[in-house]
Structure 1
Amino acid sequence: MNNPQELFDLGPVVPVVVLDEAAHAVPLARALLRGGIRVIEVTLRTPAALAAIERIGAEVPDVVVGAGTVTTGEQAEQAAKSGAKFLISPGATDRVLDAMEQTGLPFLPGVATVSEAMRAAERGLTALKFFPAEAAGGVPYLRSIAGPLPGLRFCPTGGITPARAGAYLSLPNVGCVGGSWLTPADALAEGDWSRIEALARDAAALR
């Protein structure tokens, strides 16, 4: 995968995963894959994240694994070395954008305003993360900016529920949505992979 737009073709929902234990990474990825989900964003919020990315890449090659919550250049570099296939950031500072570009990986920079989206577009970036989606205006906001910014597509993430996901996916400028509901913390802690598989199956059927 070389183009961030290709992320939108992998499925309607990108699971946003927080892993406290790297040992959960492979069974989680396999459960999501059985449910029809072929992409995972492992957030760099825990010490286990980089090892989890490495394990998924090595043992579940049919899943495209990436790193989320990239907020520093060092994280971008570490994620690339761990085998991440894409990067996602919550914001779009020049330093973080430069670092993500230097990895050579496709990436989705986070934006929340029209000015931020326009600045990203000036750099040639047309696939963006809209974050925090619900708090920043949600479906009405994205619908309202589709006209003045027709060349941009978004992966809205943040506060999206299964009930709300369909409304986002119906928008012409939305390629996919990010959701944490597919991997509830209690299901991960209990190793309830069948529950996660069922949630993945429902999510994969959204479009």
Structure 2
Amino acid sequence: MSQDSKRLLQILTAQPVVPVVAVESAGEGVSLARALVAGGIRCIEVTLRTPAAIEAIRAIVGEVPDMVCGAGTILTPKQFTEAEKAGSKFIVSPGATVEVLDAARGSDVPLLPGSATPSEMMAMLQEGYEVLKFFPAEQIGGAALLKSIAPVMPALKFCPTGGVSMKNVKDYLSLLNVLCVGGSWLAPKDKVAAGDWAGITELAREAAGLKAAA
């Protein structure tokens, strides 16, 4: 197993759910991170879907030392470099391109590349990646697809993201090839907008109590 895969294993197995969030300001990101930590969740993926994402990552890294902050929805080498410079501890892409993989090769920050099909998974194995994002999970076959992949590609471990919620999370976490899941339900837009940090802490506490089989 590569060093990057080992580092991702350490990060992703620290909790059963990695919140996948979009924030509108650095301050909002810091408050959200603190609320999640209070509930027992110590890893977060801040997606580059808002203009504030990079500053939020930088602020979380600087002000919430108990939170391992990663960057998500990385689509280009430029975004990879920006996230790296902001202090991201890991980087997540919804898929994988030659350009993004090249950027990752020159970085000390581990990449969690997305895959959706057996061919993509095989390609990632050939590139040395054994820890993958499975995206969009529910829309492409869900837990049933991952279960069928396990005996065919036993080296692979996954973080399913996309359509995962408290209704189906245990289906994923029961699989031996699932390390954790990515979920947006821990930071609902209405609670974030209202500053309901206590409510988010409760959601985090519920998620932190889940158990992964892997």
TM-score, structure 1 normalization? 0.98
* 2:192 maps to 1:188: yes
Report Cα offsets for 1:107-126 as digits up to 9, x if no partner.
Answer: 21000000000000001100
Structure 2 counterpart SS, 1:109: strand
2:37 corresponds in structure 1 to 33
| Corresponding letter in the other structure for 1:185 | K
CA RMSD, aligned part only? 1.1
Structure 2: distance between partners of 1:190 and 1:180: 16
2:73, 2:94 within 8 Å by CA — same for their partners in 1?
yes
Instruction: State the Cα distance separating 1:106 from its structure 2 match.
Output: 1.2
Match of 1:74 in 2: 78
Residue 127 of structure 1: which of 122, 126, 131 is its match?
Answer: 131
Percent identity between matched residues is: 54
Do residues 170 (structure 1) and 174 (structure 2) align? Answer: yes
Moved over 6 A (4+): none
Residue by residue over 1:97-153, the C-alpha shift from the partner in whole angstroms, topping out at 9 and shown as x without a partner, is 111232221121000000000000001100000000000100100000101100000
Q: Offset of 1:182 from its aligned partner? A: 0.2
Measure the CA separation in 1 of the matches of 2:27 and 2:104: 27
State the SS of the aligned residue for 1:24.
helix
Say if 2:57 and 2:70, in contact at 8 Å, map to a contact too: yes
How far did 1:25 drift? 1.2
Give me the TM-score of the superposition, normalised by structure 2. 0.95
Q: Distance in 1 between matches of 2:191 and 2:106?
A: 36
Number of aligned residues: 207
CA distance in 2: counterparts of 1:8 and 1:86, whole angstroms: 10
Find the aligned partners of 1:4 and 1:107 in 2 and give their Cα distance: 8
Aligned-partner Cα distance in 1 for 2:76–2:104:
9
Matches for 1:1-207 after TM superposition, within 5 Å: 3-207=7-211
Cα distance in 1 between the residues matched to 2:105 and 2:17? 24
* Shift in Å, 1:8: 2.3
Q: Deviations over 1:68-125 (max 9, x none)?
A: 0000000000000001000000001111111123222112100000000000000110
Q: Deviations over 1:19-61 (max 9, x none)?
A: 1122111111110001000000000011000000000000101
